[in-house]
Structure 1
Amino acid sequence: MSSLLTNSTAMTALQTLRSVSSQLSSTQTRISTGQRVSTASDNAAYWSIATSMRADNAALSAVSDSLGLSAATVDTEYTALNTVIGDKDSGLVKLQSLLVEAKTAGIDRSKIQADITQIQQQMKSTADAATFNGVNWLSTTASTPATVDLVSSYSRVQSTPTTGAITLTVSSYSLFTASTSGILDTQTTSGVSVANMTITSLTDAASDQTTLDGYIAQVTAAINSAASAAADLGAVKNRISTNTEFVKTLMDSVDRGIGQLVDADMNQESTRLAALQVQQQLGVQALSIANNSSQSILSLFR
């Protein structure tokens, strides 16, 4: 039956054209965004997972930045500590050799004291200068915290986030403190520390030689303590370096996981686009043919 009011062929062609146009719009969106799931309406489950994973990656990025800051801080303290330990020409090692030299009978100890004083002042200056971003663990004040946490990791199990940290005890590295309890300013019962010891008034007398032996032992203990602190900071440096590489690798892994969930396959989408464009052209042509079919009814009235 031919009808002027109802053209079922045109209606079918129009429905097909609408479907093709909708698919074409969706495909073009995927191509322009590069994602097959760019909004929650595309796939609510995958979009939600991808959003949470992107938030995790942002947190990991913050951890990476924090590790960079921590690495710089630790490196500053480590470098200064090694400088204080010194070698045969400087630092505690040189100080120890000068004290041994001072045990020589008849030697001018006032001349040796001049070198000792310079070393003591240099060690204090080095400790005070070991500051990065306002942080100094070698020369501390009353306001310096007893422990510091260096953020090292972030993880999330379901809805529970966990932040990991490397905890350091500042007193383990302190050379000078406000309470004179550091490696270099801790005083013996006679009020002598590595930082203030003087040998100008000492002589070749047995009692003074014993005093010198005590000074040498005191400096040797300071070398051992400083070396232990430097070794600990060196281990922390290695741990931070390892964590930094792991966090970067983990971020790349999360990015790949997000991509597998929401990224569009551009080869597939380009093929689909070409097919839908042909279907759209055919749909337009079919609708045109269906609309023109009603013109044949006019011939019945001629």
Structure 2
Amino acid sequence: MSSILTNASAMTALQTLSVTNKNLATTQNRIATGLKISEASDNAAYWSIATTMRSDNGANSVIQDALGLGSGKVDTAYAALNKAIDSVNTIKNLVLSSKNASVDDRKKNQEAINAAISALKENAGASYAGSNLLSTDSTNDAVPATANFSVVASYNRNATTGAVTTGSIDVALKNTRLIDTLATGKTGILDKEFAVTPAATGATTTQTSILTIDVSGATIDNKALDDILTGVEAAVKGLASGASQLGAAKSRIDTQKSFISALSDAVDRGIGSLVDADMNKESARLSALQVQQQLGVQALSIANASNQSIQQLFRG
């Protein structure tokens, strides 16, 4: 039935064209943004999951930065400590060669020892980004917050409660302390004092450290040199222990860096599978919708033209 009041064909064509235009706008937005879900109204559940995952990946990025900084600090201390081991071994050999040596030879050995001690002090001063793990204050050992060097290594959220916890890689500073910055009662591997007692009857026992070794003194005999060697051996053992702990921390940090990197990539892929648009499908859909839009416009034009034919019936 033809009517001058209601054009059902035009209404249908208009509704179809509106749907096509809406779908076309959606597809164009997906192509422009690369996302099939760019806001909550697209899919509230997936949008919420993706938003949370992006937040977690942001935290992982911060963790990676912290691990990188921590790695630099540990690597610096580790390299310096290994150099210190070489210097202490040099001192050990020089002390050993001073046994039964002439006065002149001992003086020459002492000059070499002094050079090694200077190198040790340089090693102990090694720092990275203002942080020194080798010259620290022993009074901080009693305070948990300052007793360890800590690197934030992980970020975890309880899926049920939402509670957040962070994990860390810790190094006890007392185990890597070469020099104790405390004024008295030093406990560093290099400045901790030990007793040296010559064999002579009534000889005075003196306190020395790796940093104050003197093999050229008039009272220094083979017994005193043995005491010095005992102190040097203790220092070598302490340095080896410290290097071992730093090496273990270095390995853990490197492993965690690799894991966090892989985890971030996995989260990115997960987010992509939820919200990324398939550009091949969207491109094909765009072409189809453009054709539908053209046909819809033509259909609406034809439907509107039907009323004009009714007008022709009333023309004389």
Q: Does TM, scored on the shorter chain, surpass 0.5?
A: yes
| Residues 195-214 of structure 1: pairs in structure 2 closer than 5 A | 195-202=211-218, 208-214=221-227
Structure 1 runs of 4+ aligned residues shifted over 6 Å read: none
Is residue 250 of structure 1 aligned with residue 263 of structure 2?
Answer: yes
* Paired position in structure 2 for 1:271: 284
Structure 1 SS opposite 2:135: coil
**1:73, 1:233 → 2: CA distance?**
10
- TM-score, scaled relative to structure 2: 0.89
**1:157, 1:33 → 2: CA distance?**
32
Deviation of residue 107 (structure 1)?
A: 4.8
Question: What letter matches 1:121 in structure 2?
Answer: S
**2:278, 2:115 → 1: CA distance?**
70
**1:78, 1:50 → 2: CA distance?**
40
* 8 Å Cα contact 1:203-1:209 kept in structure 2: no
Structure 1 SS opposite 2:32: helix
Question: What letter matches 2:309 in structure 1?
Answer: S
Is residue 101 of structure 1 aligned with residue 97 of structure 2?
Answer: yes
- TM-score, scaled relative to structure 1: 0.93
* 8 Å Cα contact 2:157-2:165 kept in structure 1: yes
Is residue 160 of structure 1 aligned with residue 163 of structure 2?
Answer: yes
* Paired position in structure 1 for 2:135: 139
* Paired position in structure 2 for 1:185: 191
1:255-300 residue CA offsets vs partner (Å, 9 max, x unmatched): 0000000001111111111111111111111111110101111232
* 8 Å Cα contact 1:40-1:48 kept in structure 2: yes
Q: Which of 202, 210, 229 does residue 194 from structure 1 map onto?
A: 210
* Paired position in structure 1 for 2:29: 29
Say if 1:264 and 1:105 are closer, same or farther in 2 by CA, change over 3 A. Answer: closer
Is residue 123 of structure 1 aligned with residue 115 of structure 2?
Answer: no
* 8 Å Cα contact 1:146-1:170 kept in structure 2: yes
Structure 1 SS opposite 2:207: coil
1:83-116 residue CA offsets vs partner (Å, 9 max, x unmatched): 1111xxxx11110011111112545322222222
**2:72, 2:25 → 1: CA distance?**
51
Deviation of residue 142 (structure 1)?
A: 6.5
Question: What letter matches 1:99 in structure 2?
Answer: V
1:200-251 residue CA offsets vs partner (Å, 9 max, x unmatched): 22458xxx32111010111011011101111211121111111111111110
**1:255, 1:66 → 2: CA distance?**
20
* Paired position in structure 1 for 2:110: 113
1:21-57 residue CA offsets vs partner (Å, 9 max, x unmatched): 1111111111111110001110011111111111111
* Paired position in structure 1 for 2:149: 148
Identity among equivalent positions (%) equals 49
Structure 2 SS opposite 1:49: helix
List alignment gaps of at least 5 residues for structure 1.
none
Matched length: 294
- RMSD between superposed Cα atoms in Å: 1.6
Question: What letter matches 2:174 in structure 1?
Answer: S
Question: What letter matches 1:252 in structure 2?
Answer: D
Structure 1 SS opposite 2:38: coil
Structure 1 SS opposite 2:42: coil
